[in-house]
Chain A
Amino acid sequence: MESQLKSVGKRVPKVDAREKVTGRAIYIHDLKLPGMLYGKILYSKYPHARILNIDTSKAEKLPGVRAVITGFNTPEIRIGFMKDQPVLKKDKVRQYRDEVAAVAAIDPDIAEEALDLIKVDYEPLPGLFDPEEAVKEDAILIHEYDAKGKPLKNNILKLPWRLIAGDVEQAKKESDFIVEDSFRVTWVTHCCMGTSGCIALFDLDNNLTIYSITQIPFLAQNDFNAALKAMGLKGKNTRVINTVIGGGFGSKLDTHVYEYIAILLAYRTRKPVKILFTREEEFFAQPPRQPAIIKISQGCKKDGNLTFREVDMLLDNGAYTSWGATTPSVMMVPISSLYKVPNIKYTARSVYTNNIYAQAMRGYGNPQATFAVESSMDILAEAAGIDPMEFRLINVNLPGEITPQNFKVTTCGLKECIESVGEGLNWKDAKKNKKKKRGVGMSSLIHVGGGARVYKSDGHGMIMKVDDFGKISVITGAVEIGQGSETVISQVAAEVLGVFPEDIQIIKGDTSICPWDVGTHASRQAFVSCNAAIMVANKIKKEILDIAGKYFNVDPENLDIKNRVIYLKDEPENSEKQMPLDKLLRRAHFSKHGTMIMAETFYDPPNEMLNQEFKGNLSCTYAYGTTGVEVEVDTETGHVEIKKYFAAHDVGRALNPMLLEGQIYGAAVMGTGYALTEQLILKQGKVMNDNFLDYKILTAKDKIPIVPILVETIDELGPLGAKGIGEPACVPTAPAIANAIHDAIGVRIKDLPITPEKILKALKEKEKKG
């Protein structure tokens, strides 16, 4: 098979790279429409307060201002996973970033000036910033009523997560070793280099067009249509057009307040309205990854076999609920199914606070959960006196296994991942001849690898159309956020059709043209869109070969296409029975009763929705991987240097090793930031570090010697065997580093990020204890 592949498996450059390196790619920042106005948002001055009055009269009088809107002069639009957030707040504000008013003006400076002229009277209320306080029965209420107007008794979201498999209590009795620990993870934010923005406009019939950077155009269309209905425009439609997107990482899986504000302003002014976030807004008004307090207990037998895993989690939801509130469902993936654990108990609660509301971010809860699980694995291995790598191999997942959550493991290269990372690190030698202040650590991961049925459809629609010149248009609902889905679609389509990737043109980013896709999430895009591409390309190919068969008077089964030429399989050298593809297409088109060749498909992977017990085969295949690091810790400064970094991933098949390695490098560096440097610092609900000087993502000066190791297991359901890779590589980084730090200096840091201050404090405490 390998030697036959012409396009797949090659380091094909990204199809959009030339546009991007020349500065020609049009991001939302670069787009202007005639007559366009600029919208700006006024945010709350308090984390929790009653709104007494909003006076917009002065702002309205400012020359150049075209509209000033508040919750009092616009229809109420409620958004979010539990519809608990009004777009413009009028009774209460519940977080500093609450939107209380907005302005549209002829330029951004005037809009900004108008914001200063809006006077809002507040009655401050006490705030709740600690989730452990917020869950208490007598805590003040952040929401007095739910979306349907039903009174609420406490701040706990009515989204209880509970997964039970086997008998944890019995397993505890039968365990030889049990460990119990508590871990904390905090807010981190996506830091897309392109800030958020959109342009909304209405046509004369009140249909909406929105230029957007969403990762979920079709779900966004649904959300925006609901907003139109709330605005009294029932039956009107939304067209979502994607510009080039300056980074995603899960930040665009929800529709956001600013988009609805742009819609309201556009409707009010009947002009296109653009809202573009400043970097400060991107930090404080764009929901970050959820913080969590994670209690975990695990046990094993003397021989190292895991007996149970019990996890209880408290998540800080913040003031409102996004799709990210469903991350506990994906947290279940590693909790139930990373390594063989027969008995599982997992409970999670999400609680309202007056902190910034959170959403999903790359890994969708998996990095948080895996930090606890894999840190605990090392603690348990130590308690049992077993080498941590050996301990993982004893419990390794294998093909054919059915996990406690009813995941059906098909292909699984976890063993090879662990072993290859161990080899890279010279694990045994590093452990035996331990150098001072140096340590090695590893962590594995499981993630959905074939999409995930978190929505009622996990499908992907695709249309393919062939022109008179042998060029192929692929019309797809896939959203490109930098990961390269368009490139791999081109490679796969070219492979099937016997043409070259440059013969393929991707048409995308328009809900009025492209077929439905659930969105770029769950590391699913290459998996679903390439599967769709194979299906639809095969249909096209069959049509072409049927026509060619008639022309040559041969069985179409005996024909194939290679290098843009149709040829006879039996006699590949027979030039009499060859025809360039474009020539045949013209002949088919311009003959009597001519025909155009096009085809469509809708591919929905055989994934199951989790049942009421949160069990089911969420994804038709799972991605595995192991990250291993060697660190050196400076015990004077607390600085951690990563000396070696191996990232082994079961990728099914590398459709494009260059892009795949790009996903691994980027995720590994993002994961290292999560481990060591990144945190959004909130003080009484206020983001204190809303800039790149104080929120530290890694720079080119942070040298991390990442070595990707690609383990190909050729998955039966994957497109040519491939699995998802977008999220996995950032999942195991933090626990691998935490484990290596412990190996190096004997202290275990249980809350992220592992800053030099925390290391020095822990070393001091260790010294005190002697």
Chain B
Amino acid sequence: MKKVISFKLNGEDVEAEVEPHWSLLHLLRETFELTGAKEGCGKGECGACTVIVDGKAINSCLFPVMEVEGCEVTTIEGLATLNGNLHPIQESFVANGAVQCGFCTPGMIMSAKALLDENKNPSEDDIRTAIAGNLCRCTGYVQIIEAIKKASERREP
């Protein structure tokens, strides 16, 4: 019952053979071996699996793989350049102590990216809302929120 889907993954056109019941997270981790998105709960409660599909941050553990057809998917692996230049949000997470154990970090950054792509100058409440679905047990969110705020300020002309 395998089906073939094609979509854009981190800027590249890709094709994959999938089982229709798979989640997007399963496809990313198992087929493409992109393990940056994590499974923290498998139920859409923790946000560790967040990736961006057509500009929106989504829980890839709940996202049916068949719906990826023709979409544009960005994962944490698509943010930094291959020579190690980090995306400004990643830079800001590093510089502001927003990373501890790091398990929530890729998902957190993808939620932040979706927000900043849409809203260049978010308020603190906008940031809190954007990452409300991304749980973190280490940081208390303080330095994460600060990092996103500073990344947004940096992107301002």
Partners in one complex: yes
Give B34's nearest chain A residue, CB to CB. A23
Would you list 14 pairs from A and B whose C-beta atoms are within 8 A, ordered by A residue? A17-B94, A17-B102, A21-B80, A21-B90, A21-B105, A22-B76, A22-B80, A30-B35, A193-B101, A658-B96, A665-B140, A666-B137, A667-B140, A700-B141
Would you call A193 and B135 a contact (CB within 8 A)?
A: yes
> Which residues 462-519 in A have Cβ within 8 Å of B in the complex?
481-484
- Residues of A near B140 (CB, < 8 A) are 665-670, 698, 704, 706
Query: What 1/0 flags go to A235-253 for Cβ under 8 Å of B?
Result: 0000000001111110000
**Given A192-B101, A668-B140, A700-B132: A29 touches B38 (CB 8 Å cut-off):** yes
Closest chain-B Cβ to A170's Cβ sits at a distance in Å of 45
Q: For the complex, give the distance between the alpha carbons of A668 and B137 in Å.
A: 11
**Given A14-B99, A662-B97, A692-B135: A23 touches B106 (CB 8 Å cut-off):** yes
The 9 closest A-B pairs by CB, nearest first: A23-B36, A20-B102, A482-B101, A669-B140, A246-B103, A482-B100, A665-B140, A23-B76, A692-B45
Q: For the complex, give the distance between the alpha carbons of A193 and B42 in Å.
A: 12
B interface majority secondary structure: loop
Any A CB within 8 A of the CB of B109: yes
A interface majority secondary structure: loop
- Residues of B near A17 (CB, < 8 A) are 93-94, 99, 102
- Residues of B near A26 (CB, < 8 A) are 35
Closest chain-A Cβ to B130's Cβ sits at a distance in Å of 8
Q: For the complex, give the distance between the alpha carbons of A191 and B42 in Å.
A: 15
Any B CB within 8 A of the CB of A577: no
Closest chain-A Cβ to B68's Cβ sits at a distance in Å of 19
Any A CB within 8 A of the CB of B144: yes
Q: For the complex, give the distance between the alpha carbons of A704 and B137 in Å.
A: 15
> Which residues 6-64 in A have Cβ within 8 Å of B in the complex?
11, 13-14, 16-27, 29-30
Any B CB within 8 A of the CB of A194: yes
**Given A18-B86, A22-B80, A246-B101: A700 touches B128 (CB 8 Å cut-off):** yes
Would you call A195 and B97 a contact (CB within 8 A)?
A: no
Would you call A27 and B132 a contact (CB within 8 A)?
A: no
Given A23-B76, A700-B134, 15 additional A-B pairs, CB 8 A: A14-B94, A14-B97, A17-B99, A21-B80, A21-B90, A21-B102, A21-B109, A22-B80, A193-B135, A658-B96, A658-B143, A662-B97, A665-B140, A701-B129, A704-B140
Closest chain-B Cβ to A108's Cβ sits at a distance in Å of 11
Contact size range, B: 35 or more
Q: For the complex, give the distance between the alpha carbons of A30 and B42 in Å.
A: 15
Most interface-central of A20, A483, A666, A669 (chain B CB within 10 A): A20
Would you call B97 and A659 a contact (CB within 8 A)?
A: yes
> Which residues 88-114 in B have Cβ within 8 Å of A in the complex?
90, 93-97, 99-106, 109
Closest chain-A Cβ to B56's Cβ sits at a distance in Å of 18
Any A CB within 8 A of the CB of B27: no
Give B110's nearest chain A residue, CB to CB. A23
Q: For the complex, give the distance between the alpha carbons of A246 and B35 in Å.
A: 14
Q: For the complex, give the distance between the alpha carbons of A667 and B142 in Å.
A: 11
- Residues of B near A701 (CB, < 8 A) are 128-129, 132
Q: Which of A23, A192, A666, A693 contacts B35 (CB 8 A)?
A: A23
Any B CB within 8 A of the CB of A279: yes
| Chain A residues with a Cβ under 8 A of chain B | 11, 13-14, 16-27, 29-30, 190-195, 244-249, 278-279, 481-484, 658-659, 661-662, 665-670, 691-693, 697-701, 703-704, 706
Most interface-central of A191, A193, A665, A669 (chain B CB within 10 A): A193
Closest chain-A Cβ to B4's Cβ sits at a distance in Å of 21
Any A CB within 8 A of the CB of B53: no
Would you call A18 and B94 a contact (CB within 8 A)?
A: yes
Give A22's nearest chain B residue, CB to CB. B80
Would you call A192 and B137 a contact (CB within 8 A)?
A: yes
Would you call A247 and B142 a contact (CB within 8 A)?
A: no
Most interface-central of A483, A669, A697 (chain B CB within 10 A): A669
Q: For the complex, give the distance between the alpha carbons of A245 and B133 in Å.
A: 22
| Chain B residues with a Cβ under 8 A of chain A | 29, 34-43, 45-46, 48, 75-77, 79-80, 84, 86, 90, 93-97, 99-106, 109, 127-129, 131-145
Closest chain-B Cβ to A24's Cβ sits at a distance in Å of 7
- Residues of A near B100 (CB, < 8 A) are 14, 482-484, 662, 666
Q: Which of A22, A193, A195 contacts B86 (CB 8 A)?
A: A22
- Residues of B near A246 (CB, < 8 A) are 38, 101-103
Would you call B138 and A482 a contact (CB within 8 A)?
A: yes
Q: For the complex, give the distance between the alpha carbons of A194 and B142 in Å.
A: 20
Give B29's nearest chain A residue, CB to CB. A30
- Residues of B near A22 (CB, < 8 A) are 36, 76-77, 79-80, 86, 90
Q: For the complex, give the distance between the alpha carbons of A26 and B34 in Å.
A: 11
**Given A665-B142, A700-B144: A191 touches B137 (CB 8 Å cut-off):** yes
Give B36's nearest chain A residue, CB to CB. A23
Q: Which of B40, B93, B99, B139 contacts A279 (CB 8 A)?
A: B40
Give B145's nearest chain A residue, CB to CB. A700
Q: Which of B79, B97, B109, B133 contacts A11 (CB 8 A)?
A: B97
Would you call A193 and B36 a contact (CB within 8 A)?
A: no
- Residues of A near B94 (CB, < 8 A) are 13-14, 17-18, 21
Closest chain-B Cβ to A343's Cβ sits at a distance in Å of 38
Closest chain-B Cβ to A234's Cβ sits at a distance in Å of 37
- Residues of A near B95 (CB, < 8 A) are 13
Closest chain-A Cβ to B18's Cβ sits at a distance in Å of 15
Would you call A13 and B135 a contact (CB within 8 A)?
A: no
- Residues of B near A691 (CB, < 8 A) are 41, 43, 45
Most interface-central of B40, B46, B80 (chain A CB within 10 A): B40
Would you call A665 and B135 a contact (CB within 8 A)?
A: no
- Residues of A near B102 (CB, < 8 A) are 16-17, 19-21, 25, 244, 246, 482
**Given A21-B86, A700-B131, A700-B134: A662 touches B105 (CB 8 Å cut-off):** no
Q: For the complex, give the distance between the alpha carbons of A699 and B145 in Å.
A: 12
Give B95's nearest chain A residue, CB to CB. A13
Give B142's nearest chain A residue, CB to CB. A665
Most interface-central of A194, A670, A693, A697 (chain B CB within 10 A): A194
- Residues of A near B37 (CB, < 8 A) are 23
**Given A244-B102, A481-B101: A194 touches B40 (CB 8 Å cut-off):** yes
- Residues of A near B84 (CB, < 8 A) are 18
- Residues of A near B101 (CB, < 8 A) are 192-194, 244-248, 481-482
Q: For the complex, give the distance between the alpha carbons of A484 and B138 in Å.
A: 12
Q: For the complex, give the distance between the alpha carbons of A279 and B137 in Å.
A: 14
- Residues of B near A190 (CB, < 8 A) are 137
Q: For the complex, give the distance between the alpha carbons of A16 and B101 in Å.
A: 9
- Residues of A near B43 (CB, < 8 A) are 279, 691-692
Q: For the complex, give the distance between the alpha carbons of A394 and B34 in Å.
A: 59
Would you call A662 and B41 a contact (CB within 8 A)?
A: no
Q: For the complex, give the distance between the alpha carbons of A712 and B129 in Å.
A: 36
Q: For the complex, give the distance between the alpha carbons of A73 and B12 in Å.
A: 51
Q: Which of A23, A658, A692 contacts B41 (CB 8 A)?
A: A692
Most interface-central of B29, B94, B104 (chain A CB within 10 A): B94
Q: For the complex, give the distance between the alpha carbons of A190 and B77 in Å.
A: 29
- Residues of B near A13 (CB, < 8 A) are 94-95, 97
- Residues of B near A249 (CB, < 8 A) are 137
- Residues of B near A192 (CB, < 8 A) are 101, 103, 137
Closest chain-A Cβ to B132's Cβ sits at a distance in Å of 5
- Residues of A near B79 (CB, < 8 A) are 22
- Residues of A near B40 (CB, < 8 A) are 193-195, 279
Would you call B137 and A662 a contact (CB within 8 A)?
A: no
Would you call B137 and A27 a contact (CB within 8 A)?
A: no
Q: For the complex, give the distance between the alpha carbons of A700 and B137 in Å.
A: 11
